[in-house]
Amino acid sequence: MTAHKNQPFARRLRFALAGLAHALRTEQSVKAQVVVFILVVATMLWLRPEALWWAMVILASAGVFAAELINTAIEHLADHLHPDAHPQIRVVKDCAAAAVLIAALGAIGVGAALAAHLLIK
């Protein structure tokens, strides 16, 4: 059994918050995602779209942030297991980065759809 398996919810929540705090302290890309999210929320407050648009924007933003955290975890694990440059590790890291890119493009698509909706309205 690993240290994080079958722990009470409060303890598992602390593990997750510790990971989030670490990423916020150490990863520039995570910090950038937080800044973008704050700007998105401010824009949404200004535009006042319907609740469904809020749900889509929050879900898209959460997807980007989750992908960024998974990418960070994969990079740290890969670097720990194989600190030297290796072509297979590069593929793993590139694919994780591509996941962030795809999530971000999806979020941009949601933003573009919202903009189109507001312009047509």
Does 75 participate in catalysis according to the annotation? no
Q: State the residue for tokens 């999806």.
A: 106
Contact 115, 46 (CB under 8 A): no
Rounded to the nearest 10 degrees, how much is the dihedral formed by the CA atoms of 60, 62, 65, 68? -70
Catalytic residue among 27, 50, 68, 75: 68
Task: Please report, for residues 1, 96, 105, the alpha-carbon distance to residue 77 in angstroms, rounded to integers and kept in the order given.
Answer: 20, 12, 26
Instruction: Report the C-alpha gap between 109 and 97 in whole angstroms.
Output: 18
Task: Please report, for residues 14, 69, 95, 111, the alpha-carbon distance to residue 90 in angstroms, rounded to integers and kept in the order given.
Answer: 31, 18, 8, 31
Active-site residue list: 68
